[in-house]
Amino acid sequence: MNTPSLRPWLLAAPALLLALAGCQSGTKSGSNQPDLIQANLDTTVRPGDDFFKYANGTWLKKHPIPASESSWSIGQEVQGEVYARLRALNEEAAKAKAAAGTTQQKIGDFWATGMDSVTADKQGIAPLKPELDRLAALRTPADVQAAIARLIPLNVNALIGPFVSQDNKNSEKMALYLYQAGLGLPNRDYYFNKDKRTANIRKEYGGHVAKMLELMGEDAATAQRHSAQIVKLETALAGSSRKLEALRDPYANYNKMAVADLNKLTPGLDWKAWLAQMELGKVDSVIVGQPEFYREAGRLLRTTPIEDWKAYLQWQLLHTYATYLSKPIDNENFRFYGTVLQGRKEQRARWKRVLDEEEDAMGEALGQLFVKEYFSPETKARYAKLTENVVGAFREHIQALTWMSNSTKQKALVKLTKITPKVGYPDKWKDYSTLEINRDSYAANMMRASQWKYRYELNKLGKPVDRTEWGMTPQTYNAYYNPSNNEIVLPAAIFAIPGLQDANADDAIIYGYAGASTIGHELTHGFDDEGSQFDEKGNLRNWWSKKDRAAFQQRVNQIVRQFNGYTVLDSLHINGKATAGENIADLGGIVIAFDAFKKTDQYKKGEKIGGLTPTQRYFLGYALGWQGHQRDEVLAQRILTDVHSPASYRVNGPFADVPAFYEAFNVKPGDKLYRPDSARVTIW
């Protein structure tokens, strides 16, 4: 199941594990290695005009976007090294002839089927044929509901979006959520925005759906007719879907009701029977994210012709599994979703794509092997200490706030104290013993993996919350804050600096790169405009005084206005409200980790490295984490769908609010990043 409840707190993190970077100061002025920070600078750019390009300009010039990618960054460069390591593990497993049911057998068989494009081409649409035939036999609305219930465990985006997560208002219990779903385009705005770029994507989408249906076996005329029906149905669903920024309001997206009341929301639908078909028969209540969406979904189930539902569900099934099927289907899927939507010129190497799918199917099985070889207990302890230092600095920031009352401060400090940091890798691993993987077909393995994940999540209902579980694998270049667990989760890979050996990593870089952009960032998510609505136990509950909440919201409004003012591409502006949480966390992480860094020996000594002061290296270390660029197509997509600002604005935006940055780089009135004191945002 998907877990939209985590999505707002995800950090698009900067790096993977090539050479682990240490917490301790180690770069020496006499080192024979060139200084990584100095080598990336573009000194033709004034730091007060565009710090992102000043910090990363030389790297950007030397690292164009490959034809197979929609973007390129440090993380993707380092990922190549991680891919190589995981590939070696997979190839060894595929040759091992391991005993059935073992982790090595499952890894080996998954890899073998994924890499066997010859068999995939021979099988064509055959792996989906039983499901497609069932859909072709639909006759009644009840049949449609039963079909949707069968497709949901296969991870097919079939109208509704159920998932299991902690109850936002009772974090000790697991609950069933229903969220808006069912679209083939990234979100609702793609169906309605009138700009030329989005209108062209809509046109291309209709043609793509028709082409895919032809590849499934329909004649051209039938495929065109069905494509029009599918787009019409999805447009109706999009019309009742909430916008990106509206999905960030936890209260508005929390509507708990008994199953009987759900029936009232969607007259004519028997949810008890439908949930039973989805293996959820024991559920007596649900949390509906967007009631208006389900009201419309119910109406459409009653009134839309069965032929339209057949076409729509067959399309969603085909779309979900396209990349695991024959080359013509895979290529057409890439043409639209890779080229039209993201601007990529060619497919990525198949072996890399197989590793991505294996990560999704059984990532922790790979993670166990990964950390055993590449992330020692000593390294884990080192970054746990860095986390502790940043938490200490955040505590001091809260205590020093002038806009928050003492009573609310005490509650904030309690919440901070209760935040659980998970560093590196889990203490307990997922058990994949019931997951069946063999060599019949790539698509069949993915179907079974989807069903396993679905039932793994369903099995949590009615049981105590497992607060030790991780939502990411150790080899993931990402991190997150989970409000329901009041925890920050920091996978092993997030602490790497590519191309920089541990002995040569000075504290300034480490505190900027890992302390600010990851640890401080995730801690601040617990106190951003969304995370701040959850208490120390992870419950959606107001713990603020009315006056303090108003003072906080005033500052949030300032950062929303600041980012609304940034024009990114043509007439596209950053959505300041949708990205507010991430922008708050970026700014908070920077100022908090900087104060933690000021306690280090390197800062106190003030010695230059590579001609740069410790403070300058701190800000450059942060900018290093966002080193990268992207194609216009994917930039436009992310403006509409992503709660994160583009990378360059995650540097230039918050730095323009930080006085220490002005001092470090002599930023003055007239510089493009300069903002007068009265306009600078100060929150934490």
Record the tokens describing residue 520, joined without a space: 């401080």
As a whole number of angstroms, the distance between CA 607 and CA 27 comes to 11
Q: In the 3-class helix/strand/coil scheme, how is 49-103 assigned residue by residue?
A: CCHHHHHHHHHHHHCCCCCCCCEEEHHHHHHHHHHHHHHHHHHHHHHCCCCCCCH
For the beta carbon of residue 102, count every other beta carbon within 10 angstroms. Answer: 13
- Find the helix packing angle between 306-321 and 129-136, rounded to 10°: 170
Helix spans in 401-520 (H)? 406-418, 442-458, 507-510
For residue 379, what pLDDT is reported? 81
Asked whether residue 73 falls in the same domain as residue 20, the answer is yes
As a whole number of angstroms, the distance between CA 391 and CA 589 comes to 10
For residue 370, what pLDDT is reported? 83
Residue 340 lies in a domain: no
Distances from the Cα of 165 to the Cα of 170, 456, 478, angstroms:
11, 12, 20
- Cβ-proximal residues to 258 (8 Å cutoff; 6+ apart), any chain: 284, 285
As a whole number of angstroms, the distance between CA 165 and CA 466 comes to 11
Asked whether residue 556 falls in the same domain as residue 651, the answer is yes
Question: What are 509-545's pLDDT values in tens digits?
Answer: 999 999 999 999 999 999 999 999 999 999 999 999 9
- Exposed, middle or buried, 433 (CB in 10 Å: 0-12/13-18/19+)? exposed
As a whole number of angstroms, the distance between CA 228 and CA 221 comes to 11
Asked whether residue 314 falls in the same domain as residue 366, the answer is no
Q: In the 3-class helix/strand/coil scheme, how is 252-264 assigned residue by residue?
A: CCCEEEEHHHHHH
For the beta carbon of residue 503, count every other beta carbon within 10 angstroms. Answer: 14
For the beta carbon of residue 132, count every other beta carbon within 10 angstroms. Answer: 19
Residue 670 lies in a domain: yes
User: How far, rounded to the nearest angstrom, does the alpha carbon of residue 411 sit from its chain's CA centroid?
Assistant: 29
Q: What is the DSSP string of 208-241?
A: HHHHHHHHHT--HHHHHHHHHHHHHHHHHHHHTS
For residue 32, what pLDDT is reported? 58
For residue 64, what pLDDT is reported? 96
**Mean pLDDT along residues 539-556:** 98
Does this model's pTM top 0.75? yes
Question: What are 374-384's pLDDT values in tens digits?
Answer: 787 888 888 99
Q: Which domain holds residue 166?
A: 125-324
Residue 380 lies in a domain: yes
Question: What are 337-392's pLDDT values in tens digits?
Answer: 999 999 999 999 999 999 999 999 999 999 988 888 778 788 888 899 999 999 99
Q: Is the pLDDT of residue 407 over 90?
A: yes
For residue 84, what pLDDT is reported? 86
Residue 648 lies in a domain: yes
The pLDDT > 70 percentage for the chain reads 95
The mean-pLDDT minimum among 18-27, 304-313, 437-446 falls in: 18-27
Asked whether residue 639 falls in the same domain as residue 556, the answer is yes
Residue 117 lies in a domain: no
Asked whether residue 313 falls in the same domain as residue 171, the answer is yes
As a whole number of angstroms, the distance between CA 599 and CA 536 comes to 28
Q: Is the pLDDT of residue 21 over 90?
A: no
As a whole number of angstroms, the distance between CA 227 and CA 213 comes to 8
Asked whether residue 226 falls in the same domain as residue 147, the answer is yes
Q: Is the pLDDT of residue 16 over 80?
A: no
Q: Which residue has the tokens 């390197």?
A: 602
What domain count does the chain have?
A: 2
CATH number for the domain spanning 170: value is: 1.10.1380.10
For residue 503, what pLDDT is reported? 59
For residue 19, what pLDDT is reported? 33
Residue 437 lies in a domain: no
**Res. 1 pLDDT band, cuts 50 70 90:** very low
Residue 645 lies in a domain: yes
Q: Cβ(397)–Cβ(595) under 8 Å?
A: yes
Asked whether residue 594 falls in the same domain as residue 525, the answer is yes
The region that residue 465 occupies, defined by phi over 0 for left and psi between -120 and 50 for alpha, beta otherwise, is beta
For residue 8, what pLDDT is reported? 27
Q: Cβ(317)–Cβ(207) under 8 Å?
A: no
Distances from the Cα of 513 to the Cα of 88, 93, 505, 518, 664, angstroms:
29, 35, 11, 7, 17
| Of 324, 343, 367, the domain-final residue | 324
Asked whether residue 158 falls in the same domain as residue 262, the answer is yes
**Mean pLDDT along residues 296-315:** 97
Residue 609 lies in a domain: yes
- Cβ-proximal residues to 472 (8 Å cutoff; 6+ apart), any chain: 478, 479, 480, 489, 491
Question: What are 286-295's pLDDT values in tens digits?
Answer: 999 999 999 9
Q: Cβ(644)–Cβ(584) under 8 Å?
A: no
Record the tokens describing residue 14, joined without a space: 């900067």
CATH number for the domain spanning 578: value is: 3.40.390.10
**Mean pLDDT along residues 129-142:** 97
As a whole number of angstroms, the distance between CA 668 and CA 682 comes to 19
Q: Is the pLDDT of residue 33 over 80?
A: no
**Res. 435 pLDDT band, cuts 50 70 90:** very high
Asked whether residue 60 falls in the same domain as residue 166, the answer is no
- For 567, the enclosing helix (H) or strand (E) is strand 567-569
**Mean pLDDT along residues 436-449:** 98
As a whole number of angstroms, the distance between CA 185 and CA 175 comes to 28
Q: Cβ(646)–Cβ(579) under 8 Å?
A: no
- Exposed, middle or buried, 461 (CB in 10 Å: 0-12/13-18/19+)? middle
For residue 501, what pLDDT is reported? 67
For the beta carbon of residue 169, count every other beta carbon within 10 angstroms. Answer: 18
Q: Cβ(619)–Cβ(655) under 8 Å?
A: yes
Q: How many CA atoms lie within 13 A of 187 on its CB side?
A: 16
Q: Cβ(507)–Cβ(597) under 8 Å?
A: yes
Question: What are 629-658's pLDDT values in tens digits?
Answer: 999 999 999 999 999 999 999 999 999 999
Asked whether residue 195 falls in the same domain as residue 152, the answer is yes
Q: How many CA atoms lie within 13 A of 636 on its CB side?
A: 20
- For 333, the enclosing helix (H) or strand (E) is helix 327-334
The pLDDT > 90 percentage for the chain reads 87
Helix spans in 537-658 (H)? 546-564, 580-597, 601-605, 614-624, 632-641, 647-655
Q: Is the pLDDT of residue 10 over 70?
A: no
Asked whether residue 130 falls in the same domain as residue 28, the answer is no
> Is residue 439 helix, strand or coil?
coil
For residue 14, what pLDDT is reported? 31
Question: What are 163-189's pLDDT values in tens digits?
Answer: 999 999 999 999 999 999 999 999 999
Q: Cβ(256)–Cβ(286) under 8 Å?
A: yes
Q: Is the pLDDT of residue 20 over 90?
A: no
| Of 276, 303, 324, the domain-final residue | 324
Asked whether residue 261 falls in the same domain as residue 406, the answer is no
